[in-house]
């Protein structure tokens, strides 16, 4: 089982790269068992959505 440190590391890495199947399943398992990493994962998702929105706005500005 992953430590919380490894799990949060993977959660942030998956914003930038595709996790391999082994990492993905280990991460999913950890998140299922661990409430704080589940919360962290949710925040990462929201954060990446916001970042994407900001990027869109920037692109429009630069156009």
For the bound state, the minimum distance from the C-beta of residue 4 to Zn ion, rounded and expressed in Å, comes to 3
C-alpha distance from residue 48 to each of 13, 22, 28 (Å): 12, 23, 18
Tell me which stretch binds Zn ion (CB under 5 A): 6-14, 16-24, 41-49, 55-63.
Answer: 6-14
Window 20-59: contact mask with Zn ion (x via CB under 5 A): --------------x--x----------------------
A 10 A CB-CB count for 36 gives 11
DSSP state string for 40-56? HHHHHHHHHHHHHHHHH
Binding site for Zn ion (CB under 5 A): 4, 7, 34, 37
């Amino acid at each position: 089982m992953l430590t919380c440190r490894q799990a949060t590391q993977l959660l942030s890495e998956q914003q930038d790269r595709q996790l391999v199947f082994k990492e993905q399943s280990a991460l999913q398992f950890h998140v299922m068992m661990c409430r704080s990493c589940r919360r962290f994962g949710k925040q990462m998702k929201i954060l990446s959505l916001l970042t994407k929105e900001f990027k869109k706005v920037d692109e429009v500005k630069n156009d």
